[in-house]
Amino acid sequence: MPLPLSFGGVLKASVLCSVAASLFELVAASPVVRIDTGLVRGKRIPTDNGDVDAFLGIPYAQPPVGNLRLSRPQPAKPWNGTYAATEPPTPCFQPDQWENDDARMNYSSSAEDCLYINVWRPSGVCPEEALCNTTGLPVLVFLHGGAFQFGDSGLRVYDGREFVALTKVVFVTLNYRLYFYGFLSMENSALPGNMGLWDQLMALKWVHRNIRHFGGNERDVTLSGHSAGAIAAGLHSVSPTSRGLFRRVILQSGTPLTMILALSYSGVTKFVNVAVALGCYEVGRTLDAQIDSVVGCLKRVDYVSLRTKMATMQPRRQMFLPVYGDDMLPFHPLDNDGIEMHVKEMFLGTVMDEGTFMVYALRAAVPYLMDFFALDYRMAITVGLKFAFDIPTHLGKNIVQAYFGDYGVLHDNDAIVDILAKLIGDAAFDCATNFFAEKGAEQGVQTYRYLFAHKPSYSFWPEWVGIAHGSELPLTVGSLGLFKTEPRFTSPSGKYGDNVRNQKASQEDQLFMTQLLEIWSSFVRDGCVREKAAIIKYVVEKRRCHRHTARV
């Protein structure tokens, strides 16, 4: 005969049932996917446009530490149990970003163990995990920018939840090595460099093997990026090592030809300077005589010491960028005639005022810049072109004359800044984009060229900066509504941080974001920019190289 339950027993049983029910709901709301290295548990995120499953911080490679430092990445090892992929990954090691006291990012939390990937998908895309293999949604892989020195996939601007909710596309972001660990190079077999690009390639291979388990189609991948991320995406579109891993590219404010910025930031001398600063180079001996010991020392340098010693070097000596001559880039990135693209479609463009952010940063870094200009701004800019772009002085003078006119034509400070910004924007972004678009069209790639000419209501820049580099990102990624959410790492500080947290996008921006996501997703789906987006007034011109130019 069963014993009667007391009131306390009933209460305890009720509590246990409630706890069990809550746990069941929690488990049911936590999507689990089996990939080639094990089980992965994500989290379900509600949005106004439907639920989204987010899998954040999945290892796609082994931690590049110890003997793997400064080496090509190795595939992630399998794990037991279920991997919790519910938080953004730690940023890859990088210096702090200090534009000035009003705009800075603290990256003291960045680390070497950082090779992780994030996946967002529409909830319910796989009614059962076993049926995911038949779904096949288009996939967008996005590479963050930051001059190959900064940035991380955990920043709020790269959060893909709204992009996925509105477009029903699988969205992927990732971390890749930056700065010293990502692009230090001797430009030979001892240390060829490009570790960050090889990380990206490893991530693309991971997508090819695993994205079907998330409901994506590995044969319908678009590779995208902004700024340095766009440069990298463009390099992958011409690299023999990346062939077959994606069908099309979206390049926002960057192409391989933007690498003109890197011409004067490489070379063995730079490597030696770094090795000396870190105590890894014996002055008086040739590099060839001590290559093995130098590389071994660099792999052993204490993480904290490296950060401290690198901070004392001149900024120019701390710029580490992609180099050519390895399997990834066997050709010079500026050899436009030697480039052969292996994509079917390309969508690329720039914003109206690409060069202003560089002038802004230059003025912050060199407070006496305008005093320099007061003496002879034409000569100062000519010298600057030699310093920044390795442009010979006689050619630099011709360029300056083309933009500023003869010495008889005078300009005030505002005009000097505006013209200089235009010159830099043309050299690094607009002309590079036009030439790369023309090269694609010549090779039969269906090519679309856009110009972003909308001044968002949320701009963090002074008025004179205009429609600045990166202004379009919250609109094209769909992250407008996430300004007030705090990232796990790298919370912006100073007045810039206050501005970020206090921003509220206008209804016009929200509508424009929806329209832009229609354009971006139509290209991701089938490589075409649909006329359905005619709400946004396109002006389309057919150029001699069959490049289509759209003003957005």
* Residues marked as catalytic: 227, 354, 469
Max Cα–Cα distance, the chain, nearest Å: 110
Distance CA 146, CA 95 (A): 11
Distance CA 316, CA 288 (A): 25
Sign of the CA dihedral with 132 first, then 134, 135, and 136 last: positive
Backbone angles phi, psi at 287, to 5 degrees: -65, -40
Place of tokens 């010491």: 305
Backbone angles phi, psi at 431, to 5 degrees: -65, -40
Q: Which residues pair with 325 in a beta bridge?
A: none
Q: In what order do the strands lie in the sheet with 82-84?
A: 32-35, 38-41, 82-84
Residue 61 DSSP label: B
Those residues with Cβ within 8 angstroms of residue 310's Cβ, 6 or more apart along the chain or in another chain: 95, 180, 274, 277, 278, 318
SS3 assignment, position 417: helix
For residue 166, what are its two tokens? 């509105």
What single-letter amino acid sits at 464? W
What single-letter amino acid sits at 19? V
Question: Which region holds residue 57: left if phi is over 0, alpha if psi is between -120 and 50, else beta?
Answer: left
Euclidean distance between the first and the last CA atom of the chain, given in angstroms as a whole number: 79
Q: How many CA atoms lie within 13 A of 388 on its CB side?
A: 16
What single-letter amino acid sits at 333? P
Chain center to CA of 259: 15
Distance CA 290, CA 280 (A): 10
